[in-house]
Amino acid sequence: MTASFEVTCGTPDDAAAVLALERTILEEGGSFATAPDEFHLSEAKLRVLLASLLEQPDGRFLVAREGGRILGVLLVHQEPVRALRHVGRLELFVDPGSRRRGVGDALLAEAVRRAELDPGLCKLSLAVFADNVAALALYRRHGFREEGHRVGEYLMDDGTLRDDLLLWRSVGR
């Protein structure tokens, strides 16, 4: 089946839609450490962040769009320290109503493809909850491997401790 969505670079004007999607994902729970009541990013600040990602080589801010609606977002962050600038840290989320349609797969494939061509990046990395079966399957499928397991890294509001895994893959060399 041909996908009815397309993956492209986003624009700063997508800030409101990205923010709304991010809130939805945090309210859904289970995949990010930030609780919804701790999420205070404003549209104006996100717009600045997205604009700064778009000043970098292609592919640091990707969206999957269908009929003008954003179904998924992938951001590639870099630390502002020279010694860490070769590492792209991934953030990926897909609208709950649009999952298992290949959106995450298409976003990640495009991010890796662009990162492979980006002379500034040697490594992609991310942290993921150890019980996030969906994300782990997706990242492993795209060549990511485990480089660390942090035990009890997060204390959740319900009192449970959760582990996370650090994943990475090399790009460009």
Ligand X SMILES: CC(C)(COP(=O)(O)OP(=O)(O)OC[C@H]1O[C@@H](n2cnc3c(N)ncnc32)[C@H](O)[C@@H]1OP(=O)(O)O)[C@@H](O)C(=O)NCCC(=O)NCCS
Contact residues for ligand X, defined by CB under 6 A:
25, 31, 92-94, 99-105, 126, 128, 132-135, 137-138, 141
Q: Which residues are 61's β-sheet partners?
A: 75
CB of 104 to ligand X, least distance (A): 3
CB of 150 to ligand X, least distance (A): 14
Q: Which is nearer to ligand X, 50 or 135 (CB)?
A: 135
CB 115 within 8 A of CB 126: no
The single residue listed with the structure tokens 């923010």 is: 19
CB of 74 to ligand X, least distance (A): 9
Q: How many angstroms separate the Cα of 110 from the Cα of each of 74, 76, 105, 125?
A: 10, 12, 9, 15
The single residue listed with the structure tokens 């020279």 is: 82
CB of 5 to ligand X, least distance (A): 10
Q: Which is nearer to ligand X, 20 or 48 (CB)?
A: 20
Q: Which is nearer to ligand X, 53 or 92 (CB)?
A: 92
Q: Which is nearer to ligand X, 31 or 56 (CB)?
A: 31
CB of 66 to ligand X, least distance (A): 12
Q: Which is nearer to ligand X, 137 or 156 (CB)?
A: 137
